[in-house]
């Protein structure tokens, strides 16, 4: 029996990799322009990082993590997201010493054991940014603006920004009391899991995907009506700044996001092309996370975006991808001999900065020419035994079909001209 990829994972094949290069290139250029530096953290971390960072009663920690013991029995987890690892690295490397505000971005695979469906995978790729050390509402807007600039440069249209404020520790206390009493009265209409969450973490009930729970929650008290003055002012300033920058947004009073670390601003960017899994990016402020992971009180804000979901949306919108990069030259060898000579010549061509390859499968001349055509090369360099004896090769221009015999020593100049 053939072994297949695990459920919810996929290969990124050579014919698709150009899309990934293109997207990563746009992201890197734009984020460098915004002053963000790339960070790469390990793919697995101590499980405790996510339990403390994301929150024990979230779906991610409760049901979706790939967790396993190492050989000494310590619990490790494949990272389900990038924010907690970035904050761990920020603290471990004492980055606050370098600058009060630290701006980081990352790319990479994330892992969540969810039920796979269109746009939802068990291994998926995110890029994300984290702006650590600023309380300013303008920082929240920079995050949203950077995301939108990336999507716009990639040619994605019609995206919607939904924002909300989830308050802070202070104002949430009062709100959670009110939410709890509401939920206590609706126990029968809520699913088993929501019932369990009423005591442990009632805010997470607002996140439930169950349709009946969602209907019941329509009348639930809204956090936005219970913000303290500081959170209210912060939210007002975010909205004002978005409007001044002509960034369209809608307020989604039900938006709480599925991770516990959020405070104040929470947002999602929605793509109409994605069906049920329509969030192309999500993020917000997390002013307590650094402290919860053992650091000093330090505010932060960031977002992450699913790259597969970006590609799906771009394909549905028929966005044009950059042209595929092909080889410049194919070295064609006639006869059994001269393998090493052909390889030496190939390496010289490559050293001159010209992309080139040859056939390693022992194909006939005709079939080597076919391969050259498949690669859309500009030139083939044909090595015949007799010509090589005279230090000559044949250079064929594949567009004009012209060919001429030239001295080996002149080959690089001819190719470069």
- 165-204 residues in contact with ligand HAM (CB under 6 A) are none
Query: In terms of Cα–Cα distance, which of 231, 310, 304 is closest to 84?
Result: 304
Cβ closest to ligand HAM, residue 207 vs residue 328 = 207
126 belongs to the binding site for ligand HAM (CB under 6 A) = yes
Out of 105, 107, 121, 379, which residue is the one contacting ligand HAM (CB under 6 A)? 121
82 belongs to the binding site for ligand HAM (CB under 6 A) = yes
Question: Do residues 103 and 35 lie in contact, with contact meaning Cβ atoms separated by under 8 Å?
Answer: yes
Cβ closest to ligand HAM, residue 256 vs residue 393 = 256
Give the x/- contact pattern for ligand HAM in 247-266, rule: CB under 6 A.
-----------xx-------
104 belongs to the binding site for ligand HAM (CB under 6 A) = no
Question: Do residues 252 and 163 lie in contact, with contact meaning Cβ atoms separated by under 8 Å?
Answer: yes
β-sheet with 67-69: strand ranges across: 44-46, 75-78, 67-69
Tokens 């989830």 -> residue:
166
Out of 306, 313, 382, 396, which residue is the one contacting ligand HAM (CB under 6 A)? 306
Out of 52, 112, 172, 333, which residue is the one contacting ligand HAM (CB under 6 A)? 112
Token readout for 296 is 């000093």
Which residues have a Cβ under 8 Å from the Cβ of 376 and sit 6 or more positions away?
326, 327
Residue 279 Cβ vs ligand HAM, minimum distance, rounded to whole Å: 4
305 belongs to the binding site for ligand HAM (CB under 6 A) = yes
Cβ closest to ligand HAM, residue 183 vs residue 290 = 290
As a whole number of angstroms, the distance between CA 202 and CA 191 comes to 13
| Helices vs strands, H then E, count in the chain | 15, 16
Out of 45, 59, 81, 140, which residue is the one contacting ligand HAM (CB under 6 A)? 81
Residue 383 Cβ vs ligand HAM, minimum distance, rounded to whole Å: 49
Cβ atoms within 10 Å of 341's Cβ, excluding its own: 15
Residue 276 Cβ vs ligand HAM, minimum distance, rounded to whole Å: 12
SS3 183: helix
Residue 80 Cβ vs ligand HAM, minimum distance, rounded to whole Å: 7
* Dihedral sign of CA atoms 243, 218, 283, 89 in order: positive
* Dihedral sign of CA atoms 400, 405, 408, 413 in order: negative
Residue 7 Cβ vs ligand HAM, minimum distance, rounded to whole Å: 12
Residue 161 Cβ vs ligand HAM, minimum distance, rounded to whole Å: 12
As a whole number of angstroms, the distance between CA 329 and CA 231 comes to 62
As a whole number of angstroms, the distance between CA 409 and CA 413 comes to 8
Token readout for 48 is 């405790």
Residue 212 Cβ vs ligand HAM, minimum distance, rounded to whole Å: 24
Out of 282, 349, 356, 358, which residue is the one contacting ligand HAM (CB under 6 A)? 282
280 belongs to the binding site for ligand HAM (CB under 6 A) = yes
**Residues 144, 260, 228, CA angle at the centre, nearest 5°?**
75
Residue 362 Cβ vs ligand HAM, minimum distance, rounded to whole Å: 43
Question: Do residues 227 and 171 lie in contact, with contact meaning Cβ atoms separated by under 8 Å?
Answer: yes
Question: Do residues 248 and 148 lie in contact, with contact meaning Cβ atoms separated by under 8 Å?
Answer: no
287 belongs to the binding site for ligand HAM (CB under 6 A) = no
The count of residues interacting with ligand HAM (CB under 6 A) is 27
Give the x/- contact pattern for ligand HAM in 323-362, rule: CB under 6 A.
----------------------------------------
SS3 132: strand
Backbone angles phi, psi at 396, to 5 degrees: -115, 125
235 belongs to the binding site for ligand HAM (CB under 6 A) = no
Query: In terms of Cα–Cα distance, which of 353, 262, 284 is closest to 143?
Result: 284
Question: Do residues 349 and 341 lie in contact, with contact meaning Cβ atoms separated by under 8 Å?
Answer: no
Cβ closest to ligand HAM, residue 136 vs residue 394 = 136
Residue 243 Cβ vs ligand HAM, minimum distance, rounded to whole Å: 23
55 belongs to the binding site for ligand HAM (CB under 6 A) = no
36 belongs to the binding site for ligand HAM (CB under 6 A) = no
Residues near ligand HAM (CB under 6 A): 81-83, 112, 114, 120-121, 124, 126, 128, 130, 258-259, 279-284, 286, 302-306, 308-309
């Amino acid at each position: 029996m053939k072994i297949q990829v695990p459920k919810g994972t996929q290969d990124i094949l050579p014919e698709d990799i150009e899309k990934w290069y293109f997207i990563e290139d746009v992201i890197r250029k734009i984020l460098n322009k915004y002053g963000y530096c790339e960070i790469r953290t390990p793919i697995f971390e101590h499980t405790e990082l996510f339990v403390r960072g994301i929150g024990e009663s979230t779906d991610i920690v409760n049901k979706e993590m790939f967790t396993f013991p190492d050989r000494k029995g310590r619990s490790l987890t494949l990272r389900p997201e990038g924010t907690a690892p970035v904050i761990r690295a920020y603290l471990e490397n004492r980055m606050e010493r370098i600058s009060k505000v630290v701006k980081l971005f990352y790319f990479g695979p994330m892992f969540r054991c969810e039920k796979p469906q269109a746009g939802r995978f068990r291994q998926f790729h995110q890029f994300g940014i984290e702006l650590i050390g600023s309380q300013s509402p303008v920082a929240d807007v920079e995050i949203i603006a950077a995301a939108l600039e990336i999507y716009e440069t990639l040619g994605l249209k019609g995206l919607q920004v939904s924002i909300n404020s989830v308050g802070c520790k202070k104002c949430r206390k009062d709100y959670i009391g009110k939410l709890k009493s509401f939920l206590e009265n609706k126990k029968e209409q809520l699913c088993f899991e929501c019932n369990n969450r009423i005591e442990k973490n009632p805010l997470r009930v607002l996140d439930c995907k169950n349709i009946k729970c969602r209907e019941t929650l329509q009348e639930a008290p809204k956090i936005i009506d219970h913000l303290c003055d500081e959170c209210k002012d912060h939210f007002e300033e975010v909205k004002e700044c978005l409007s001044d920058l002509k960034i369209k947004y809608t307020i989604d009073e039900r938006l709480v996001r599925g991770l516990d670390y959020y405070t104040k601003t929470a947002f999602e960017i929605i793509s109409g092309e994605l069906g049920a899994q329509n969030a192309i990016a999500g993020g917000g402020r997390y002013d307590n996370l650094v402290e919860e992971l053992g650091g000093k009180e330090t505010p932060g804000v960031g977002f992450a975006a699913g790259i597969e979901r970006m590609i799906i949306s771009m394909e549905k919108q028929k966005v044009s991808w950059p042209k595929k990069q092909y080889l410049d030259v194919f070295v064609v060898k006639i006869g059994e001999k001269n393998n090493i000579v052909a390889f030496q010549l190939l390496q010289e061509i490559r050293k001159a900065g010209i992309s080139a390859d040859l056939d390693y499968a022992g194909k006939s001349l005709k079939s080597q020419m076919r391969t050259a055509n498949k690669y859309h090369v500009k030139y083939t360099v044909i090595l015949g035994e007799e010509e090589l004896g005279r230090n000559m090769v044949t250079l064929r221009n594949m567009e004009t079909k012209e060919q001429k015999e030239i001295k080996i020593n002149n080959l690089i100049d001819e190719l470069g001209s």
